Amino acid sequence: MSGVWTIYRREFAGLFLAPLAWILLFVALLVKGVFFTLYLQAGGGEVNSALSISLGGSVLYWVLMVLLPPLLTMRMVSEEASSGLLEFLLTAPVTDAAVVAGKLLAATTFMALLWSTAFVYAGAAQLLGVTPDWGMVLAAFVGSVLASGLFCAIGLVASSMTNTPLIAAFVAVIANVLLLFVPLVRGNASQLLPVPPDHWIVEALRQADVLEHLDGSAWLGVIDSAHVLFFLAWTALFAFLAVRLVETRRWR
Amino acid sequence: MSAARRGRPGRRGTGPWTRLGIGAQVLAAALLAVTAAALVPWLAERPGLHGRLDLSATGRGSLDPTTVDLLAVFEEPVVAEVFFQLPQPPWQQVGAEVQARTREFLRLARAAAPTKLRVVDHDLTDVAMVKERQRELRVPGQGMVNVVIVHSGEQRAVLELFKDVSEVDLGNPMPGGGYRPATVRAFRAEEAFAGALKKISGGQPPRVLFTTGHGERDLYGTEQRQIGRVHTALVADGFVAEPWNSAADPRIPDDVDVLAAVDPRQPFTPEELDAIRNFVDRGGRVLAAPGPDAPSGERTLHELVRDWGAIVPPGLVCRPLVDPYTKQKHEGSQRCADLLVSTDGMSPTHPITQPLYRGQRHVRLPIAGAVERGALPEGGSQIDVLSSSTDSWRDLPGARGTYDYSLARGEERGPFSLCAAITFPPRAAAPPSAGSPAEGAAGEGSDDGGGHVGHGHGDVPGAAAAAAGDPAERRESRVLVLPCPDALGQELFEANRDLILNAFNWLASRDYRVSVRPRDPGVAQLDLSDGDDLAAMHRATAYGLPGACLALGILFALWRRRS
């Protein structure tokens, strides 16, 4: 565990040592801020709906969710591998799992920092005399962090597969987009696949549908154990795959 | 070869087979991990392992406890099959809104009870598949759109999107000054869903017997005046509807819930009358639809309903026709007897008419008689479910038995009751309990009617064991008097379908008005009128946070440069 914490601190600090993270954060905050006021205007000043759009109900949210994790994780393994730092890290007295876990936590923490701006928006509304639904904001934040963890884990897998960060980012973005296509495939299952709507394949797609899991819980202001475990399980799966890929570098 | 090398065991390197072995291990581990990742969420949905914590201020993320309890009783999962199609413009937007909200509710319901509810969303572009599926589900009118069919086992209930789930104000689509967009006036997805659950959890389907052998309307007939479509609709709604062959056996079986007498033209036999009376006295339910011009002497349906407190006087209820251009009223036409009852003439709270009232529907009653109050049974009550307008009158037949459809001297003016719902405690030798509910059972749809066990009926054909059984098993008697058999006929069935089905459901105690707590939309509105609040928000979100991030970044960079 101490290894995880050490790696996490190093990675998180390292994110902010490079200008990339600051630029990403600045741009994301700027765009989110501008769009939040647009949502407020469009909703006639309804704060709760603007907050829920900001935390899941908008294209901007998914653009950030698809693009930021790959950009954050693309260098975490691939660049270290190409620069030789990874070999140094692998010979350190930390397990491969601790290395991956630390990096994953660092990337997820960065994303959590981004999504935590919703609390600032809600706080601003509170100061202006309008009480937002804090519970809903908290649940949506938790859902966003869990989803971010999943996308960061996918990014780490991509980063572990190659020594070129840009390729890693590209692969991760493609994988994220494909994951978000699952609801589309599910909704058109009878046309794309020759199966009725209650076929087990459609049910399996529902289980893998990230939007379905967020829609049924976080976006309603609910923490649902089944949906939390979905994100944790699939994040653990991709983290496991990343660990295995990092391990293979030992005997390449 | 050196002695040192001869004595030392050979070194093992990572040869191709070793790599293959390692690769196979990794692959196996990966497959196991994928399986575990798929299994964990599935396991997490099992009852006992699944938990939900609703943090929202309004509870919008949770089902009402009533709904959760209703779902919990099902051993087999309930399936909600969605058949949605966008309405044509100009109601496309409001239709899309209602559909989206309904889908959101169903997602919530499934998330709250993942092992108890399945939602199947059908693609309506495949029309043949939709019709086939609805045929399999035994719903009438294959090709129904904008419905949710809730079923479990053999029981099913159909929820219509724009009738049961929502009320929509269609607005005024005409461009110009009078334009008004369509809006959703009320959204009751959870209430409708809970009602459907209650309906399909009822166990044995209710059984309806139709009297025969006295010139009644044919239960299987398809001609204009027959009631074949009533039979089809009842079966589709989960009833067992059969003719009562009283000539062969005058007894009414114990498992009959409702007896329907639709326009009998001849008197009943004494045995039949006794059976019907005892059936009602022990908590049975009757739909009595005497024709206004049917015989009203002894042993007729008119006499029966009089026992229960309703009098069907001679004559037809008529109303003047209004010329749409001149607005003048006219009499003397047979069309004066073709009544169109709008919400003004409906009880807004009775279970039979409440959905019609809410949906701004109307019913057609051609050639209808009136219902007057007689001597109600002790503890009984009568509700006028449908009433005529104040400008109506009761047209009396002339010497030749014909009607002139004009208000003449001696003819009574309205309004008249056109359909009366009578309830009373089961009759018994012991004093009955104080009163029965004035309306059908509200809240949980319970119809516990109180009253004591009756012992006064002796060994009469049709006497139920419940007459001497547990008082808790007895329930209130219900009679619905609708002196307009043509309202159930083939021609007008579609126009009166809701009235007819609601009537049978009320008589069978399937008036499922489940009380679901209203959901506070939880509005938190920022005042945008003067722009100050919005400007402040904009400064905080678009300038404040990004600016702080930029400032921190620059400070951090400067600090790093110095250090």
Chain B touched by A95 (CB under 8 Å): no
Cβ atoms A159, A168 nearer than 8 A: yes
d(CA B193, CA B189): 6
What element of type H or E holds B421?
A: strand B417-424
Give the CA angle between residues B137, B139, B141 to the nearest 5°: 135
| Nearest-by-CA chain A residue for B51 | A225
Chain A 71-90, residues with CB within 8 Å of chain B CB atoms: none
CB neighbours of B271 closer than 8 A, spacing ≥ 6?
B246, B250, B461
**Can you list the pairs that B58-62 forms with residues at least 24 positions away whose Cβ atoms lie under 8 Å?**
B58/A133, B58/B519, B58/B520, B58/B521, B58/B522, B59/B519, B60/A220, B60/A221, B60/B519, B60/B522, B61/A136, B61/A139, B61/A217, B61/A220, B61/A221, B61/A222, B61/B108, B62/A222, B62/B108, B62/B112
Pairing of strands B52-54, B258-262: unpaired
Whether residues B61 and A217 touch (CB distance < 8 A) is answered with: yes
B269 C-beta neighbours (distance < 10 Å), count: 15
Closest-CA distance of chain A to residue B533, Å = 7
| Cα separation values, B26 from A247, B19, B245, B526, Å | 10, 10, 75, 56
Q: Mean pLDDT across the stretch A59-82?
A: 87
What residues form DSSP beta bridges with B242? B209
Report A:119-138 residues touching B (Cβ under 8 A). 120-121, 124-125, 128, 130-136, 138
Radius of gyration (C-alpha) of chain B in whole angstroms: 33
Q: Using the predicted structure, report yes or no on whether residue B503 has a pLDDT greater than 60.
A: yes
CB contact under 8 A, B536 and A36: no
Residues of A (34-63) whose Cβ lies below 8 Å from B? 34, 36-37, 40-41, 44-48
Chain B (122-151) residues lying within 8 Å, Cβ to Cβ, of chain A: 122-123, 125-126, 129
Q: How far apart are CA A19 and CA A77, in angstroms?
A: 18
Interface with chain A: mutation pick from B19, B52, B78, B120, highest number of A CBs within 10 Å: B52
DSSP B108-145: HHHHHSTTTEEEEE--TT-HHHHHHHHHHTT-SSSS--
- Judge whether B538 is closer than 8 Å to chain A, CB to CB: yes
CB contact under 8 Å between A244 and B541, yes or no, is no
Helix axes of A134-161 and A59-73: crossing angle, nearest 10 degrees: 40
Q: Which residue has the higher pLDDT, B365 or B464?
A: B365
Asked if pLDDT for residue A143 goes beyond 90, the answer is: yes
Assess B524–A contact: CB distance below 8 Å, yes or no: yes
Among B17, B25, B55, B110, the strongest candidate for a mutation testing the A interface, having the largest count of A CBs within 10 A, is B55
Which residues are CB-contacts of B219 (< 8 A; sequence separation ≥ 6)? B210, B212, B226, B227, B228, B230, B231, B241, B242, B243
Query: What was the pLDDT predicted at B327?
Result: 82
Least confident of A234-243, B52-61, B97-106, B209-218: B52-61
Other Cβ atoms within 10 Å of B561 Cβ, number? 7
Q: Which residue is it, tokens 């089902």?
A: B63
The closest CB to that of B120, out of A132, A198, A216, belongs to A198
- Among A135, A236, A241, the residue with its CB nearest the CB of B56 is A135
Task: Name which residue leads in pLDDT, B14 or B302.
Answer: B302
Contacts of B309 (CB under 8 A, 6+ apart): B373, B374, B375, B376, B377, B380, B382, B422, B424
The CA distance from B101 to B189, in Å, is 8
CA end-to-end span of chain B, whole Å?
61
Above 0.85 for ipTM, yes or no?
no
The region of weakest confidence among A135-149, B8-22, B24-38 is: B8-22
Specify the DSSP class assigned to residue A8.
H
User: Across the strands, what pairs with B184?
Assistant: B168
Phi, psi (degrees; rounded to nearest 5) at B317:
-80, 125
Any idea which of A93-107, A164-178, B238-252, B436-450 has the lowest mean pLDDT?
B436-450
Inter-chain CB proximity A241 and B30 less than 8 Å? yes
The Cα B379–Cα B359 span in angstroms is 32
Q: What value does the mean pLDDT take over residues B28-39? A: 85
CA dist B157 and B508 (Å) reads 15
| Minimal-distance CA residue of chain B relative to A43 | B525
Report how far residue B375's alpha carbon sits from residue B384's, in angstroms, rounded to the nearest whole number. Answer: 15
Interface test with A, best of B14, B43, B545, B554 (most A CBs within 10 A): B545
Lowest-confidence segment of B305-309, B481-485, B526-530 by average pLDDT: B526-530
Is residue B448 within 8 Å of B472, Cβ to Cβ? yes
Average pLDDT of the residues of chain B: 81
| Residue A142: pLDDT over 60 | yes
The residue of chain B nearest to residue A20, with distances taken between CA atoms, is: B553
Percent of chain B with pLDDT over 70: 86
| Residue A46, beta-bridge partner list | B525
Would you state the pLDDT for residue A146?
A: 95
Q: What is the pLDDT of residue B432?
A: 37
DSSP letters for B284-346: -EEEEE--TTS--STTSHHHHHHHTTEE--SSEEE--EE-TTT--EE-SSGGGGEEEE-GGGB
**Which tens digits make up the pLDDT trace of B267-313?**
999 999 999 999 999 899 999 999 988 888 889 999 999 999 999 99
Under 8 Å between Cβ of A195 and A113: no
Put simply, the chain B residues between 45 and 84 with a CB less than 8 A from any chain A CB are 45, 49-58, 60-62, 79
Q: In angstroms, how far is CA A160 from the centroid of its own chain?
A: 17
Inter-chain CB proximity A188 and B123 less than 8 Å: yes
Whole-number Å distance between alpha carbons of A150 and B519:
33
B465 falls in which pLDDT band (50, 70, 90)?
Answer: very low
CA distance B406 to B437: 39
Are the CB atoms for A41 and B528 separated by under 8 Å? yes
Q: Which residues contact B200 (CB under 8 A, 6 or more apart)?
A: B78, B150, B151, B152, B153, B155, B156, B157, B238
DSSP B261: E
Q: What's the CA gap between B51 and B112, in Å, rounded? A: 8
Q: Which of A26, A48, A241 sits opposite B524 (nearest CB)?
A: A48
CA B76 to chain A, closest CA, distance in angstroms equals 15
Candidates B526, B540, B544; nearest CB to A130: B526
The answer, for B545 touching chain A at a CB cutoff of 8 Å, is yes
Question: How many C-alpha atoms does B60 have within 13 Å on its Cβ side?
Answer: 22
Rounded-to-integer distance, Cα A38 and Cα A50, Å: 9
Query: What's the pLDDT score for residue B309?
Result: 93
- What 8-state DSSP symbol labels residue B490? T
pLDDT in tens, A19-32: 888 898 899 999 99
Q: Between chain A and chain B, how many beta carbons pairs sit less than 8 Å apart?
A: 207
Could you give the percent of chain B with pLDDT greater than 90?
Answer: 33
Contact residues, chain A, for B541 at CB < 8 Å: 32-34, 36-37, 117, 120-121, 124
pLDDT band at A89; cut points 50, 70, 90? low
Asked whether residue A170 carries a pLDDT value surpassing 80, the answer given is yes
Residue B203: its pLDDT value, please?
66
Query: Alpha helices of B484-544 — where are they, by DSSP H?
Result: 493-507, 532-538
The verdict on B173 touching A (C-beta cutoff 8 Å) is no
Ramachandran angles phi, psi of B321, nearest 5°: -85, 140
Among the listed ranges A142-151, A179-188, A194-203, B35-44, which one has the minimum average pLDDT value? A194-203
Are B436 and B449 within 8 A, CB to CB? yes
Identify which of B284, B387, B299, B307 has the alpha carbon closest to the alpha carbon of residue B342. B387
The model's confidence at residue B231, banded by pLDDT at 50, 70 and 90, is: very high
- pLDDT tens for B338-354 read 999 999 999 999 989 98
Q: Which residues have a Cβ under 8 Å from the Cβ of B560 and sit 6 or more positions away?
A: A17
Most confident range (mean pLDDT) of A138-147, B40-49, B502-511 is: A138-147
Query: What percent of chain A is predicted at pLDDT more than 70?
Result: 92
Question: Per the CB < 8 Å rule, is B541 touching A198?
Answer: no
Cβ atoms of B207 and B217 within 8 Å: the answer is no
Name the nearest CA neighbour of B497 among B316, B231, B188, B274. B231
Counting Cα atoms < 13 Å in the Cβ hemisphere of B201 gives: 20
Rounded-to-integer distance, Cα B288 and Cα B438, Å = 19
pLDDT tens by residue, B426-452: 875 323 333 333 333 333 333 333 322
B20 lies within 8 A of chain A by CB: no
User: Does residue A41 come out as left (phi exceeding 0), alpha (psi in the -120 to 50 range) or beta?
Assistant: alpha
**Cβ–Cβ gap A240/B33 under 8 Å:** yes
Burial class (CB in 10 A: 0-12, 13-18, 19+), A120: middle
At residue B436, the pLDDT reads: 36
Computed on alpha carbons and rounded to an integer, the radius of gyration of chain A in Å comes to 19
Whether B558 and chain A come into contact, CB under 8 Å, resolves to no
Q: Is the pLDDT higher at A190 or at A43? A: A43
**Selection from B181, B209, B204, B104 nearest residue B148 by Cα:** B104
Give the residue on A whose Cα is nearest the Cα of B109: A216
Q: Inspect the interface and report whether the beta carbons of A222 and B54 lie closer than 8 Å.
A: yes
State the CB neighbour count (10 A cutoff) for residue B461: 14
Nearest to B418 by CA among B307, B315, B492: B315
Residue to mutate among B60, B125, B520, B541, with most A CBs inside 10 A, is B541
CA atoms within 13 A on the CB side of B160: 13
Across the interface, of B34, B114, B537, the residue whose CB is closest to A37 is B537
Which of B29, B41, B55 lies closest to A223 in CB terms?
Answer: B55
Cβ neighbours of B27 in A, within 8 Å: none
User: Closest Cα partner for A72 from A141, A4, A174, A151?
Assistant: A151
B465 phi, psi to nearest 5 deg: -60, -25
* CA B15 and chain centroid, separation: 72
Question: B57 to chain A: which residues are within 8 Å by CB?
Answer: 133-136, 221
The yes-or-no verdict on residue B261 having pLDDT over 90 is yes
pLDDT score for B507: 94
Taking all residues of chain A, what is their mean pLDDT, rounded to a whole number? 86
**What value, to the nearest 5°, has the Cα angle with vertex B548 and ends B545 and B552?**
145
- The amino acid at residue A216 is G
